[in-house]
A and B are shown apart, each in its own frame.
Chain A
Amino acid sequence: MKRFGPFLFERRLAPPRSVVLGVSMLAVMLALLVGAAIFAGYGVNPWHAYATIGKSTLGSRYGLMEILRRAIPLLLCGVGLVIAFRAQFWNIGAEGQLLAGAVAATGMALFSGIPGPWLLPAMFGAGFFAGATWGMVPAFLKVKLRVNDVISTLMMNYVMIYIVEWLIHGPWKGPTMRGFAYTDTFPKAAWLPTLPLSRVHWPTLLIGVVAAILVALILNRTRLGYEIRVVGESEGAARYAGINFLRVSLWVMILSGGLAGLAGVGEVAGIHHKLLSPTQVSMGYGYTAIIVAWLARGSPVVAIVTSLLFGLIFAAGDVIKTVLRMPFQVTGVFNGLILFFLIGVELLMYWRVRLASRGERWTGKAGSSGS
């Protein structure tokens, strides 16, 4: 317990949900406040900026649909990262796993010859498999060779980015694309249906929501989920309990990478209908999903909400670019700021503040009793 003036600060181990929510919202608000300063520095009136963004995203049907469509890959990657972070596996590689899924889906769509109605399921299957495979490599390296997971997952992103670049400039370059670095357009059977007058490829959205619920069940109701949580909370306890690290890590990354792979399938089959430059396929969804997962604080279902929030930020990025004529990179700045403030205010959650009663104030008893 500590005392500052009339306020008493008491430590608590498990903050109630209302406090977590309140503190998280405070963080987002503070980030928006600093964001306002950035707008002002760029010569754009912050009020005008936020009002324009609000009107063009939340205030119109098209805007809402754009939020939803951006939230789809964030949700799938985010749910995957929730699993990984619960196991203390630092998967920073959702970007590469997403691209792996996109590549596998493209391969299926263009070269497999699978007939009509089976094509899309095959693409999703292949996408999950590719993402999972890309994720399993770092898991194996971490457990068997103690290779730092942050580095390996990140490096795998770059490797996959250049594989995609190679494919679209080389062997998969579309002969009908007049020299552009794309593959050919997918056959119509490989196009995901979208909600009317929007780019919301709803089957992927549905998969994302179902995945969030399934992962919540896995984490809370199954033996694997239990093992994942033990590994994440205490490595020592996990070893003592005889938990097989390799098995748990591989499962974690199969699920985490696989879900990111599905996100990649959604992007190529639902939006672009071809494979193109990695920055256009993903725009950093895999990295932003880290914040989606962090903000969800270990809950896959909460990730549905947080992915919508960051879907909004991406949609806002489009508005900032087209209406306010500022570079899209503003979204990166906002993402970084939100993450800064989120972890910055985290400490607040673990302190309860109350007004000291008269007695405590005058006797100073609460001075230094240990925490």
Chain B
Amino acid sequence: MDWQSWLIGIVGRALAFGTPLLWGTLGEIYAERAGVVNLGVEGMMVLGAFSAFAVAQSTGHPGLGILVAAVVGGIAALIHAFLTVTLRANQYVSGLALTMFGLGLAGLLGRGWEGIPLRQPLPSVTVPGLSKIPLLGPMLFEDQSILTYTGLILAVVLWLLLYRTRWGIVVRSVGESPATADALGVNVFLIRYLCVIFGGVFAGVAGGFLSVEYRPAWTEGMTAGMGWIVIALTIFAAWDPLQAIWGALFFGALYHLSYRLQAWLPPELLKLMPYAFAILVLAIAGLSGRKRGAPGALGVPYTRGEK
């Protein structure tokens, strides 16, 4: 195999595997920008993956599956929002509970659906014209999911929204200094609810992508820790939607390489690569020493009229 097809394969598959990571990370960035850590990404993703598959399989409409996954992710996130924003529960513990609950529930409901290939996966698209560009064409514009492109576009849109609009300022101020935002008349609770639910919707889509597009089937635990990679990517991307693209691509490539290199190394050792790298990149980010711009009130419940 020559180097060109290697490169095309790696970048193309990195885009594909990076897609759920990108969606998940974009959602988590918004939740955390509003000051709420949601460690339930893995749980929301797996619920999304299962519901998308179940709906797509029984209706024959993969698009509907993705839609339902988004709603299910949003509802799951609503539980987290209620516990952490209204009841001011510990965000870490609530997120962990959501992950346990999601993995358990998806495993429970999904029992009868294991191992059936999806009858109608989400069709992949080849962009006419652009796919004819040498090297870049087959790399980026051939046989990709529509969700890959929407993810990339959304990353740009969400970046603009966050840094170039009044809306973005409101979201960031709620995460940075909720008391100040409150004093200026921003409804802190509402913004936090909306951002957490938004994060859940994106995590749901990320899961749905896995089960109706990437590997069109349902297997228990098919998210395999991707939800946690998302949390790491959020930090790695310094809560910036544009940087999330590079992070997602990098980890997408790692996931792909863990299959691709199996001729040379034992598959089990390759599979641990993304997780080891997640620690590594955070350590390198720490080593570089600069403050990574975490939202000031991240993880802190807000109580009106205190402090």
Contact = CB atoms under 8 A, between A and B. Distances in A.
Interface of A: 38, 42, 90, 92, 141, 144-148, 150-152, 154-156, 158-159, 161-163, 165-166, 169-170, 287, 290, 294, 326-327, 329-337, 339-340, 343-344, 346-347, 370
Nearest to A142: B286
A226 B306 CA distance: 29
B169 interface: no
B266 A170 contact: yes
A333 B228 CA distance: 19
Interface of B: 39, 43, 79, 83, 87-90, 92-94, 96-105, 107-108, 111, 220, 225, 228, 231-232, 235, 266, 268-269, 271-272, 275-276, 278-279, 282-283, 286-287, 305
Contact of A169 (B83, B87, B90, B268): B268
B282 A343 contact: no
B275 A330 contact: no
A156 B279 contact: yes
B108 A333 contact: yes
B221 to A, nearest CB: 9
Contacts of A161: 272
17 contacts: A38-B108, A141-B283, A151-B232, A152-B282, A155-B278, A158-B228, A159-B275, A162-B268, A166-B268, A329-B111, A330-B104, A339-B100, A339-B101, A340-B79, A343-B89, A346-B87, A370-B305
B92 A90 contact: yes
A148, A155, A162, A166 pick with most chain B CB within 10 angstroms: A155
A217 to B, nearest CB: 27
A334 B235 CA distance: 31
A155 B232 CA distance: 9
A130 B220 CA distance: 30
A150 B230 CA distance: 13
Given A145-B286, A170-B268, A339-B94, 7 more contacts: A294-B93, A329-B107, A336-B98, A337-B101, A340-B79, A347-B87, A370-B305
A90 B228 CA distance: 14
B107 to A, nearest CB: 3
**Chain A contact residues, majority secondary structure:** helix
Contacts of B100: 287, 332, 335-336, 339
Contacts of B282: 141, 145, 147-148, 151-152
A170 B235 CA distance: 35
Nearest to B91: A343
Given A146-B286, A329-B104, A343-B90, A151 B228 contact: yes
Contacts of B108: 38, 42, 326-327, 329-330, 332-333
A151 B96 contact: no
A155 B276 contact: yes
A166 B276 CA distance: 15
Contacts of A339: 93-94, 96-97, 100-101
Nearest to A345: B87
A1 to B, nearest CB: 13
Nearest to B277: A155
A159 B235 contact: no
A339 to B, nearest CB: 4
Contacts of A150: 39, 92, 231
A156 B266 CA distance: 19
Contacts of A159: 272, 275-276, 279
B79 to A, nearest CB: 7
